[in-house]
Structure 1
Amino acid sequence: MDQYADSPRTRYITAASAVFAHKGYHAASLAGIADQLGVTKQALLHFFGSKVVLYEEVLSALSDRLLSSIENVEGTTPEAMLRTFFLHLSQDALCNVEDTQLVARALLDAQTTSENWPMKPFLDALGALAHKTKRWSKASDAELFCWIYQHIGSIQHFAISQTTLRGMYGAEAFDVLKETHQAQLRAALADLENDPV
């Protein structure tokens, strides 16, 4: 068992993740996060020093989870690993909407000086894996990045929209939409063994 799993720091980051996911950086407050945890604002400040630092820790924890999902993906070839990663990401996004919302909020909240954005190691690792596939081995970084972003964007947009889609069309229709989205994702990932275009 992870010795840090139940530490106050970990609990604070977990609670703050949910608040930042639902409200975004600007609408979230340390006092609100502290109230939700049943601690004082000073307790949060003791561990993190400021809301900015807490937010960076939240995004770093998310990046670490996503990076770990790339490092631990199973497959015998880069193509199989990349395909498995995206299909798992799609399933995880539907089940863990808060992480998906957090990514979207982080993108919306990012400043023009985001050179040190905590999600960069995740995107770099995903790009490195994609460059190992036959299809993307000779692609420019720009081409590859846009391809990756199209898939991540589709997955995240669909996951964030699931409550609205269920409300508009009903649970049965949403299940059909979910299956169709997965089928289209699998089709889009089917050409990874093909020669570069």
Structure 2
Amino acid sequence: MDQHTDSPKTRYISTASGVFAEKGYNAASLAGIADKLGVTKQALLHFFGSKAALYEEVLKALSDRLLSSIQNVEGASPEEQLRSFFLQLSTASLEKPADTQLVLRALLDAQASSENWPLKPFLDALGALAHKTKRWSQASDAELFCWIYQLIGSIQHFAISQVTLKGMYGAEAFEVLRETHLAQLRAALADLEKDPG
């Protein structure tokens, strides 16, 4: 077990992640996060200095989790690894929709300073893995990233819609939708061994 798992800083980042996911950067407040943690606002300022710095740490932690999921994905070939990654991302997004919601909130909150986007290392690693597949080996970065964004967007939209879908159609119908979504995701990943052309 990592010695920093239960550190105050880690706990603060974890709680702040949930608040930022729920409210977005602009609506979240240090006082509200501190209240959820049962600490003072000054305790958060001691570790992070500002709300912006805390938010940056939250997004960096999310990026690290996503990057780790790429680095630790199993598969004998780049095609198998990429397929496994997206299927695992789909499952994880449904099980932990707060991370997905945090990504979407961060995108909505992004300002002109987006060149420092904390998820860039994750996206770069995902792009590098995809470029190793037969299907995407000759693709331009624009073609590749549009494909990646279509898959990520589909996964994220489905994950954050699950409560609404269950409410509108019921839990049983949602399970059918979930299986259909996975089947469509598998189909989108089926031709990774295909030569480009």
TM-score range, shorter chain: over 0.9
Matches within 5 A, 1:86-125: 86-125=86-125
Question: So what's the TM-score if we normalise by structure 2?
Answer: 1.00
Q: What amino acid does structure 2 have at the position aligned with 1:125? A: A
Q: What amino acid does structure 2 have at the position aligned with 1:19? A: V
Q: For residue 57 of structure 1, what is the aligned residue in structure 2?
A: 57
Same amino acid, percent of matched pairs? 80
What's the CA shift for 1:113?
2.1
Q: What amino acid does structure 1 have at the position aligned with 2:169? A: Y
Q: What amino acid does structure 1 have at the position aligned with 2:13? A: I
Counterpart of 2:98 in 1: which secondary structure?
Answer: helix
What's the CA shift for 1:159?
0.1
CA RMSD of aligned residues (A): 0.4
Counterpart of 2:116 in 1: which secondary structure?
Answer: coil
Matches within 5 A, 1:123-142: 123-142=123-142
Matched, 1:172 2:190: no
Task: After superposition, give the CA deviation of every residue in 1:119-139 in whole Å (9 maximum; x if it has no partner).
Answer: 000000000000000000000
**Structure 2: distance between partners of 1:30 and 1:150:** 34
Residue ranges of structure 1 left out of the alignment (5+ in a row): none
- The alignment covers a number of residue pairs equal to 197
Task: After superposition, give the CA deviation of every residue in 1:13-69 in whole Å (9 maximum; x if it has no partner).
Answer: 000000000000000000000000000000000000000000000000000000000
What's the CA shift for 1:2?
0.5
Counterpart of 1:115 in 2: which secondary structure?
Answer: helix
Question: So what's the TM-score if we normalise by structure 1?
Answer: 1.00
**Structure 1: distance between partners of 2:38 and 2:50:** 18
Q: What amino acid does structure 1 have at the position aligned with 2:56? A: E
Residue ranges of structure 2 left out of the alignment (5+ in a row): none
